[in-house]
Every structure is written in C-alpha cells, then in structure tokens.
Amino acid sequence: MFAASLAANFFSALSGGGAGLIQFPVLIFLGLPFGVALATHKIASVALGLGATLRHLKESHLERRFSLIILGAGLPGVILGALTILHVPERAATLALGVLTLGLGLYSVFKSSLGMTYQPRNRQGIALAGGMAGLFFVGFLNGSITSGTGLFLTLWLIRWFGLDYTRAVAYTLILCGLVWNATGALVLGVIGTVAWSWMPVLLAGSILGGYLGSHLAIRKGNLWIKRSFETVTILIGLKLILG
C-alpha cells in the first residue's frame, strides 16, 4: 500500500495530477467498497498537496489574486461534485472521464508549444468569467471523480490563462491538491465512510511522493513536465475506458 501510494503521488506531483490512477484502484483491489475507497483516497490525497506545497513554496510563483480566483470559482464545484458523486452510476462517470482524459493527453501531444512559455491572459472581464466557469466545472470533477482530475486543472490553466507547465503544476498541486481536495475530503468524510486504519500508510506515501515528484519537476522544467503530463493522461484515459 505504501509503495502504491508513493508511486501514485510521485507521478501526480511530476505531471500535475493523476494519483488516482494507482492509489484509488489499489484501495478497491485490497477490499474497500467504492464509496469507502473514494472517501479514503480523497483524504489521503490532501497529503499529496501538503508534500508538494512544502517543495513548491521554496520557489513559488503563485499570485495571490489569481490563487483566490481559482479557489473562489473551483470550491463550489468541488462541494457540489462531492455531494452528488455517490448517486452517479460509477461506470458511466468513469467512461466519460476516461474519454476526456485521453483527449487531454493527445491534445498536448499535438500542440508542441503548449505550456512551454508563460504568457498570462484572460484575467479580466468576460474572458475571466469564462475561465472561472471552466474552473467551476473542473472543481466539480475534482469533487466527484478521483482519477486524474488535477490534470484537467493543469491543462485549463495553461490553455485558457496562458501559464507554462511549471507554474500550472504548482497551482494545481497547492490549490487543488491541498485546498480543493481537503474540501472534498471533508464533505465525503461527513457523508461517507473512511478506512481510518489505512490512513497512516497512505499519508506517508502521499507526502513523500508529493515532495519528491515536485522536486524533480522543478529541477527538470517545462518540457519534462509536459512529457510526463502526456504520458500520465494517456495512460489514465486508456485505463478508465478499458476498465
């Protein structure tokens, strides 16, 4: 369980999402029911944000106003998603997410310049409102579906707001990994059941994996993160589609 958590969160911190690709299925494989595995994974994933934050804050490029925009637009979606997921047919949601995730990876592959330079845009007026609507939708996915939704935020920050991969991953891991996931974990912890006895091992793997993955991402830069993002999204998409 520790090895799975460490690997999942290492690659998630490196690529900007995707811890659920390994960690969530492992919890189900080890015997937890879907709802219990969902709540347990969501709480453990908060530690990924903590581990990543410890590393990214040393060289953080986060802007306070933009961070508040991401939190303000995304958190209502997270809460709504967490409240509805236990009532959604699991296979339908998983298949839809798989198609979307695979599309993200392929889009990045064929857009060779995507996320390679920092060109901030769409921070005012109608363009900002459109961006916030996208953040709300990504927040809903984050609250409801476990596998790879941080990848959606990473790509949205790049495509709509003009961030490069390094900055986008930092925002994703700190704001989504820590704050969004903590909100979703709180809701699921209240309305669902958590396997608390499994938590110490999962938390240890999440914190260490998040820190190490973030450290490697910062050292290697945009191109390395872009290739990691593409690899993880394509693998997640295929796994979700094929089951």
**188-213 pLDDT tens trace:** 777 778 888 998 999 898 888 888 88
Least confident of 47-56, 72-81, 132-141, 204-213: 47-56
Question: Residue 119: which region, alpha, beta or left (left: phi > 0; alpha: psi -120 to 50)?
Answer: beta
Q: CB within 8 A of 97, min separation 6: which ones?
A: 141, 145, 147, 148, 149, 240
- Evaluated on CA atoms 196, 201, 203, 206, the torsion sign reads negative
pTM: 0.80
* AA letter at 114: L
Tokens of 77: 């979606």
Answer whether residue 162 shows pLDDT above 90. Answer: yes
Tokens of 170: 């930092």
> How do residues 84-143 score in pLDDT, each as one tens digit?
776 667 677 667 777 877 887 888 888 888 888 899 999 999 999 999 999 999 988 877
